[in-house]
Every structure is written in structure tokens, then in C-alpha cells.
A and B are shown apart, each in its own frame.
Chain A
Amino acid sequence: MKITDIEQALRERPGDRQLWLDYAALLEERGDARGTLIRLEQRRDRLRPVDRVGVQQEIDELASAHRQAWDAALPDGATVLARRHGFATKVAVEWSDEDDAPMLVDRVLREPFVTALRISPTEDIEQAEVEAAGEQAWEAFDDGADAGQETDAPEPSIDPGALATLDFSRLSELGFPYLGLGALGAKALAASAFFRIGASGTGPTAGDTTGLLDSLDLRYSRIGNDGLSALAASPGFRGVRRLHLQHNRLTAKAARDLHRFTNLTELDLRYNTIGEEGAQALLAAPFIGSLRRLLLHRADISDAGAKLLADSPRLPPAIRSYWRNA
């Protein structure tokens, strides 16, 4: 078996201990210390907690000596958030220069075990957006518009085309927190995923056209109803179980589009004014009885919407309790 085949198999079955040992042997042949690390960590996990101290010390020393070399393949600006056996599995990247950013992300995605990626804006981009938002808000206020209401279209602050070039299909966790994707960015993601998954059939089972993605974080991404609608229609995103959508200018229409995410167990919709109609649409969603977490504020759904949630037998009892008392 080629090493790349083993890596793909391990991405799909990260708990396969024997496969990891086979992989360790290949790494050791190449002089990669992560082969030794795999063996040590597997041995540690079989020991009683009281007997683990010595092995853990060996692991820490090995990791400390080699971590810099292991991360050398990652581009500058990438931060490792989680590892398995020394390999990066979750990485954060800042989206800065439009020209370099897609390339940087692409390099991260080439790392063999990265299955979780978080792309967020640089501080400069954030600051510029805050200032622009302030100016727009005062202009709208001076023109007599409703100060709190964001009526302008959710434009992206990054190039949607650049996003479309990236292949996220092997990820189980993807986040663009605080990055102004806008509706166009969301549509680009959806379209790209549609073609890639359609072409490769990378779903959990052979021939499955639903993506591997389990968690999608789009908080403060300004995707709006149209952006969410595009993602809901895309097989690459339809299978997610955890969805963060706070502060995205969503309304009741988006709550209806959420019905297409049939596997949802966690949904964060805070700071979107979906109103009573949105609450009603949520209660009609196929996933409503399976939710473990539903994050919303009373202001998002109005008193009438809160009452609907409090009274609905479709909600799991614990979440209904929350709304009976919120």
C-alpha cells in the first residue's frame, strides 16, 4: 500500500490502531520521529494512568525536540490547533493578502491529516471593516434609516472567486468565523463543493454525494439568506451536524432553508432577527427533535416566537424547559 493510500485510510478511520502502526513503520524507515511517537502514544494509552508518567515524559521530550521540524511544511501564518501523533489535524489560517491567501490555505490542505480548518480575517481587515461599518451606519442614520437595521446587501470583503479554487471536500470541520464571505462567498463555496463532491463521490459511503463535513462555522460572515440558501442546497454542506450562524443577517426565510440540513444537532442562530415566523419555521424542521443545543435569544425571535418554542412538544424537553423560563 502506498503511503498516501494509508494516509487517506487513516483520515477515514483515525481509530484504526493497527493501521497507525503500519504507518509508523513506514515513517521509521524514512527516519521520521513521528513513527516512534505513534508507538509511544499507543503504548501509553494501554497503560494504567499511574504507570503513564515515564512514557509521557518520553513523548513530551520527543515532541519538543521535533515539533518545529514537523511543522516546517506548514506555511507561515498557519497555527496548529490540534494534533494527532505529531501531525497537524486542526489548523487556523488568517486570510490576509488576496493573492497569497488561497495558496496558503491550499498548502495547509495538502498536509496529510488536516481535517479541520479555520480561516479568519487578519486584524487589519477586521479593523477596516469595523470602521467602514461605522461610517455606513452613521450615513444611514443621518439619512433617517432605522439605525439598528442593516439593510444594505451582504457584500463579501474577500474575493469569492479565490474561495472557489479551494478543495475543502476532505474536511470534517470548516470555519470562516468573522470573515466577510458575503452571499457571493457562500455561493462560491456551495458551487465549488457541488462540483467537487459530485465528481469524486467523497461522502461517507461509496457513491454518497453528501460531504464529510460535520461542523460548519459561519459566524459573523454576512452570508445573508441567499448565502445560506446556496449552502443548504449544496451536498457538500447538507450533512453538517453542528452549524454556527450567529450574526448573519438571516430572517425567517433562512429558518425555512435550514430544513435541508437534516442532520443538525447543534444550531447557533443568535443575533439573527428571524422573528416569530422564523421560530415557527424552525419548529417545522426535520431536525428539531434531535437538537441538543439550540442557541437563540428572545430578541431574535420576539416574545411570540419564544412562546412558540416554550409550548412546542416537538422540541426536546430540556430545550423546551429553557424557553419556558428564558
Chain B
Amino acid sequence: MSTELRDRFFALSNSGASSDEVAEYRAEVDATDADPAATLDGLALHWHPTARFKAVRFVDAEDLGADVRDLFARPSREAPHLAAVFADPHELSFRDFENILPLDRVFARSESGGGFDLELADPREFAPGAYTFALRLPGTDRERLRRLDAMDLYVTPLNSASRGGERFIFHSQLLADALTRAVTEGVPEPLLEGFSHVNPVFRCNRFEPGDANFHLHRDTPYYDASREHISRYTVLIYLTGGTAEPVLDLAGGGALRRIDPFTCVVFDQRYQHEGAPYLDERKVFLRTELVFTETGLAHDPEIGALFSKACYLTGESVFAPELARHADTYYDRVAAAHWEGLGTGADREPFLHKDFRGTHFVANGYDFWFAKRGGISPAVCAAITLLDYFNCKIGEDSFRSLCETEAIEAQGTGWIPAFLQDRGGGTAVAPFDKSMLFPEPEEPNTEDMPDCACGICGEIHPRFDTTRSAGVIKHYTDAQDAAKAEVVPAPIVMMGEDVLLDPDRFVVEGDRIHVLGKESPSPVNFAACQGGPPVTPPEDFITTAVTVDAAHFLVPPILFTESDDCYHLRFDFFGNTWTLKHEQATAAVPAIRPFTMEDIDQDWDINYPDWDDEDEDLEDEEEEEEENATA
């Protein structure tokens, strides 16, 4: 049944299935529930679509557990290392919205050893700062690029409502390096001042005749603060040719109505642009950027704030599709602001009012407001903000799916304190003393567990105290160390569906809340009888007292202000000097179980039938030795 559900997904995706067939399939998926089959980077996955797992993605099959790996389809003959997985879209956050596929492994299988031999020829400026080139390449390279379309790796983008067609994103250093060489040699000199390289992340887009246009927009420039890299030009490589009205329209600039296969278009990212599907053919093109080194950039925190809001609203659009429109508007304003400064936005902006287990807050993706009610602390506000922003997993669910959320369009922010005062401000996140999870081990009064329960070893008895055995304590301490490495540095821990915070990991200093991050975990060492009945080895006396999920964050300080009735937190996650990281780990908190007589092999005589003989042999040997000594 499930295999059938999996295979039909790909069959329907690749054939011109009727709308009835698709509707019937969707109904079947909606009626199918299943527990996650695997978890990858904190994302629960299944190998066929279900009511919960609906977002198809591709992952390196090697990253899936060997026990379930073969259940996942490998739909691409060209890229058999990629397995198709189905994720819960509600669990996605900005970290994993984009599914970037590593394709160099596919390219490297070619006769040429993987590299491309590309040349940009016949430059023609069709608008100020916009050029077309003929992409010259050997037939084998041409074929390799054409095959990208046949790989069937397309997934539905989150902003599918505001754009037509299908796309997938891939990473290829081989292709980017070849393009970098071709750009350096073929692109007119004035465009190359400060040129560094071609971005190795490509978007492969496909439009069928009749698909909706990709609406008028600006491309969001690439930005790497640590290297002072920004993109200035968009690069489009058309793998198919055709005619459209128009193929590419640069607002206020020129337009291209007909395009030949393997035409490369380079245009200034300041242009707003849109494109229509070909009239008669499938339109397939790659998009990437020319990256430049730019020193002395000015910074406007408001641009970062707007970008943060855009990312947040993209995630929220899974729950409220109407927010995708606002996200696109924000992305467009951010892209324009990079070149022209931040313009004025709309009078009314979207906000989300959320209720997480009685704690109400209002957020827009950059600002988070909490009512000062019910003893809520800045640390709790910060914890909830982090959980929301990163859409952390709590038990089996994502934070956002546990919130009751309503979208509100409003002018300004002055209404928020009064709005929140009318709503509960309880603390859904309790402080927790994590030392309770790690009671100190007892002092040992016996050595390591004896190898056996024979009379000579003699230390095992029906009331043997495992809690004071040096061997058991060592394993207990090792297990504690392993769990502590994950749990102790975590500012937030989850036990089942409960969220608890460590107040010591949130340091409020002036107008900032510092969330202390994880240090490198210390190495954990694990260590490893004869004669009488075997005894359970010491490590087997270690059991799990409780399982704890630890959420780690490496984030910039959270800006924080308070009024009489409100805490107002502000995040600039995409700030210029910070590397952003969030991870979630699960740790089993150990306990020592007592010894029971079942820990001695009761069928020992049966399992070790030669025991008596060995004993007799030993006695014989001893007697012999004594006799010899006497003699």
C-alpha cells in the first residue's frame, strides 16, 4: 500500500495525469497517517507522502539510516545518490526552506572528469547593464546541462503562489568554476571591476507553455558579510530556446522576445524583471549570480530587519498562504534597498498574534512583543522568540504548529500593548534546574563488577549494590558526561512536550539578552570475565531516567526594551558580523538500575556444561602440583 503510494507520487508527477487522478491521489494521501520513518537534521521524514509529510525533498541517501534507506525512492536515474523524502512543511524553518542538491557527483561521472569547458561569446548589450552572450560549449557539456531537466528533481517552492513553473536548487562548484573562467574572459571589462566568482548555487527553473508568469520582482542579492562579497549581476543560462511575450522583460530597460538555446543573459540586479513561458516549448533556464568583493559597504539595520521579517513570513505562509504575498513584497523591498536605500513601505503591515499554551505574543519576524503579565521574564520572552523563529521541535510537533495563530494587518505598532493586555500572559516555559538530571554518583565500595558469580570472586550476592560498584559508576559517569555535553549548555530543553529553560543561559545586560551558546563537547570515553556463571556487565545497569531534547543556539544578542506593560524584543539574525547556527540534539539522562538475581545466568549449568570438568581439571592440577612439591 505504502510503496504504491510512494511510486504513484512519482508516476503522477511525471505524466500528464488528469485532475481527477490527482484529486483521488491527494484524498488518499490525506487519509494516510504514519509515524516518521527517519529524522535528518531534526526534520522528521517519511518515504511516502502522508497527511502530515507532504513536502517532497531530495537528500543524500547515505544520510538516511541503513535500516530504512531502501524504503525511500531514488526517482532520478541521473542522480541515484539522491533519495526522495517527504517532510512536514510545518516543521520547515528558514534553515531548510531551500533544498540545495549537491550535483557535482553527477557531473564528475562524465568522460571529461567533471569540469566544463565554457565560453561566453558575441556579447550584445540589450539594455544598460544587461547583456546577452552565446554560451559555447562542447557537445558533451551541452548534453550534461540538458540532462538537468531530465533529472526530475523539481520541487514546489514555498512561494509557488506568486510564481509559476517548477524549480530545484543545486550546488555545483564544477559548473561555477567554468562559468567564472568564461565570465572573466568573455564579459566586457567595465562589468568586472571587483569580480570574484560565480555563485555555485544554481536554480534550475522549468516552465511549460501556459504556466503562470514569474511575476515582476527583483532578485535578492547574494551577501557574505565575512568575505565582503555581494552579487551585482544576475546570470541566466537558457538551456532551451523559444519565443515568449516576452522571454525576459527588464522593467524600464529592454526585453527579449526570442531566445536561442544556450544563451547566457547577464543583467544588473537593480532591474525589476519578469518572464513568461515560451509559447510552444518548454522553457528551462539556470539562474545564479556574479559575486563581487565590495569593501566599505554601508549598513542599514532596517534592511536586516525587513529581511528577517520576509524570511519569517515565508515560513508562516505554510499556515497562512496569504502571507506569501507580504513576504515577496518584503524581499523585493530588501533587494531594492540594497541599491537605492530603504523606501517607504505600505501603511499597513502584517503581524502574527500567537498563543503558545496561554502565553500570547505578537511578532512580525523581527519584533516580538509580550505583555508583562503572569510573572513572565525577559528570559522566557527570549526563549519563546527563539523557539518561534527557529520553529523548534517540541515533542513530535513544531513550535509553530503548537501555536494558535492569527494574522493581523495593522498600521504601526502602537496598538500592540493594549491588544496584549487583554490576553493571557502566563509562562508556558518553566525555569528548570538541570542539575536535577545529573545527581552526583555515589562513592564506590566495591571494585569493578566481578567477571562471574563464583565463590572466589565472591562479591556478587543477591543484594549487590550496583549504585556503589566502581565499574557501574564509571559507566554511569561516562553516560552522564555524554548527556551533560548536550544538555548542560542548552538554554532550552524539551522533555516530551514540555519546554523548560535554563535561566543561567540567558544573560540580560542593559538592553541586550545574551543567549549563551554551546561549547565544544568534551570527548566522551567508554570502557569495556571468567569462571562461574556470567554476570551482567556493568554498562547494562545503566538505564535511561528521562530523554531530553536540547536546543542549542548560536545567535547574536537579542535587543530588548521594556515599557510599563510590555517587553519588546528585536532580533537581527542576519546581522553582518554573526554566523548563525541552531541545532537540536537528544540526550538520554542515565540512571543506575538495581541488581537482581536475573543478572546471574540461571541456566549456567546448561549453557556451560563443561564447567564441572574444568573445575575438576583445576583440582587435579592443584593436587598434582602439591604432590610434586611434596616429592
| Size of interface on A: residues with Cβ below 8 Å to B | 41
- Cβ of B456 within 8 Å of any chain A Cβ, yes or no, is no
Residues of B contacting A316 in the complex (Cβ-Cβ under 8 angstroms): 430
Whether B500 contacts A318 by the Cβ 8 Å rule is yes
Most chain B CB inside 10 Å of its own CB: which residue of A137, A178, A325:
A325
| Size of interface on B: residues with Cβ below 8 Å to A | 35
Q: With A and B bound together, what is the CA distance between A246 and B592 in angstroms?
A: 13
- Cβ of A7 within 8 Å of any chain B Cβ, yes or no, is no
Stretch at the interface among B281-289, B442-450, B526-534: B442-450
- Cβ of B495 within 8 Å of any chain A Cβ, yes or no, is yes
Stretch at the interface among A72-80, A187-195, A277-285, A289-297: A289-297
Whether B545 contacts A321 by the Cβ 8 Å rule is no
Most chain B CB inside 10 Å of its own CB: which residue of A177, A316, A322:
A322
Whether B500 contacts A141 by the Cβ 8 Å rule is no
Q: With A and B bound together, what is the CA distance between A293 and B432 in angstroms?
A: 10
- Cβ of B597 within 8 Å of any chain A Cβ, yes or no, is yes
- Cβ of B615 within 8 Å of any chain A Cβ, yes or no, is no
Residue among B442, B446, B495 making CB contact with A220, cutoff 8 Å: B442
- Cβ of B112 within 8 Å of any chain A Cβ, yes or no, is no
Whether B433 contacts A293 by the Cβ 8 Å rule is yes
Residues of A contacting B439 in the complex (Cβ-Cβ under 8 angstroms): 268, 270, 295
Interface residue ranges of B426-476 to A (CB < 8 Å): 430-433, 435-437, 439, 442-443, 445-446, 458-459, 461-465, 467-468
- Cβ of B579 within 8 Å of any chain A Cβ, yes or no, is no
Residues of A contacting B433 in the complex (Cβ-Cβ under 8 angstroms): 292-293, 318
- Cβ of B547 within 8 Å of any chain A Cβ, yes or no, is yes
- Cβ of A324 within 8 Å of any chain B Cβ, yes or no, is yes
Q: Report the number of A-B residue pairs with Cβ-Cβ less than 8 Å.
A: 95
A181 to chain B, nearest CB (A): 16
Residues of B contacting A246 in the complex (Cβ-Cβ under 8 angstroms): 442, 467
Whether B496 contacts A126 by the Cβ 8 Å rule is no
- Cβ of A127 within 8 Å of any chain B Cβ, yes or no, is yes
CB-based nearest B residue for A178: B443
Residues of A contacting B431 in the complex (Cβ-Cβ under 8 angstroms): 318
- Cβ of A259 within 8 Å of any chain B Cβ, yes or no, is no
**What is the predominant secondary structure among interface residues of chain B facing chain A?**
loop
Q: With A and B bound together, what is the CA distance between A268 and B440 in angstroms?
A: 11
Residue among A120, A220, A326 making CB contact with B545, cutoff 8 Å: A326
A55 to chain B, nearest CB (A): 27
Whether A141 contacts B446 by the Cβ 8 Å rule is no
Residue among A147, A268, A297 making CB contact with B462, cutoff 8 Å: A147
Whether B459 contacts A134 by the Cβ 8 Å rule is yes
Residues of A contacting B595 in the complex (Cβ-Cβ under 8 angstroms): 148
Q: With A and B bound together, what is the CA distance between A196 and B451 in angstroms?
A: 51
Whether A321 contacts B463 by the Cβ 8 Å rule is no
Whether A137 contacts B463 by the Cβ 8 Å rule is yes
CB-based nearest B residue for A134: B461
A318-B446 in contact given A147-B462, A294-B436, A325-B496 (Cβ < 8 Å)? no
Residue among B445, B463, B497, B545 making CB contact with A127, cutoff 8 Å: B445
CB-based nearest A residue for B429: A317
- Cβ of B594 within 8 Å of any chain A Cβ, yes or no, is yes
CB-based nearest B residue for A310: B496
Q: With A and B bound together, what is the CA distance between A129 and B463 in angstroms?
A: 13
A148-B446 in contact given A134-B461, A317-B430, A322-B546 (Cβ < 8 Å)? no
- Cβ of A247 within 8 Å of any chain B Cβ, yes or no, is yes
CB-based nearest A residue for B547: A325
Whether A321 contacts B496 by the Cβ 8 Å rule is yes
Residues of B contacting A270 in the complex (Cβ-Cβ under 8 angstroms): 439
A217 to chain B, nearest CB (A): 11
Whether A133 contacts B495 by the Cβ 8 Å rule is no
Residue among B435, B445, B446, B498 making CB contact with A325, cutoff 8 Å: B498
Q: With A and B bound together, what is the CA distance between A150 and B596 in angstroms?
A: 13
Whether A137 contacts B436 by the Cβ 8 Å rule is no
Residues of A contacting B505 in the complex (Cβ-Cβ under 8 angstroms): none
Whether A148 contacts B462 by the Cβ 8 Å rule is yes
Whether B430 contacts A318 by the Cβ 8 Å rule is yes
Residues of A contacting B436 in the complex (Cβ-Cβ under 8 angstroms): 292-295, 318-319, 322
A326-B463 in contact given A270-B439, A293-B433, A321-B498 (Cβ < 8 Å)? no
Whether A297 contacts B545 by the Cβ 8 Å rule is yes
- Cβ of B591 within 8 Å of any chain A Cβ, yes or no, is yes
CB-based nearest A residue for B436: A293
Whether A326 contacts B442 by the Cβ 8 Å rule is no
Residues of B contacting A40 in the complex (Cβ-Cβ under 8 angstroms): none
- Cβ of A3 within 8 Å of any chain B Cβ, yes or no, is no
- Cβ of A219 within 8 Å of any chain B Cβ, yes or no, is yes
Whether A318 contacts B432 by the Cβ 8 Å rule is yes
- Cβ of B163 within 8 Å of any chain A Cβ, yes or no, is no
A112 to chain B, nearest CB (A): 29
Residues of A contacting B467 in the complex (Cβ-Cβ under 8 angstroms): 246-247, 271
What mask results when residues 286 to 326 of chain A are scored 1 for a CB within 8 Å of chain B, else 0?
00000011110111000000000000000011110110111
- Cβ of B593 within 8 Å of any chain A Cβ, yes or no, is yes
CB-based nearest A residue for B430: A317
- Cβ of A130 within 8 Å of any chain B Cβ, yes or no, is yes
Q: With A and B bound together, what is the CA distance between A130 and B596 in angstroms?
A: 17
Residues of B contacting A299 in the complex (Cβ-Cβ under 8 angstroms): 593-594
Residue among A129, A136, A293, A294 making CB contact with B435, cutoff 8 Å: A293
Chain A residues packing against B (C-beta within 8 Å): 120, 126-127, 129-130, 133-138, 140-141, 147-148, 150, 177-178, 219-220, 246-247, 268, 270-271, 292-295, 297-299, 316-319, 321-322, 324-326
When A and B form their complex, which 7 residue pairs have the shortest distance between CB atoms, in order from nearest?
A147-B462, A321-B498, A134-B461, A325-B496, A317-B430, A318-B432, A137-B463
Instruction: List 12 A–B pairs whose Cβ atoms lie within 8 Å, in order of A's numbering.
Output: A120-B443, A130-B459, A133-B463, A271-B594, A292-B433, A317-B498, A318-B432, A318-B433, A321-B432, A321-B498, A322-B546, A325-B498
Sample of 5 further A-B pairs with CB below 8 A, known A127-B445, A293-B433? A136-B463, A177-B443, A178-B445, A325-B495, A326-B545
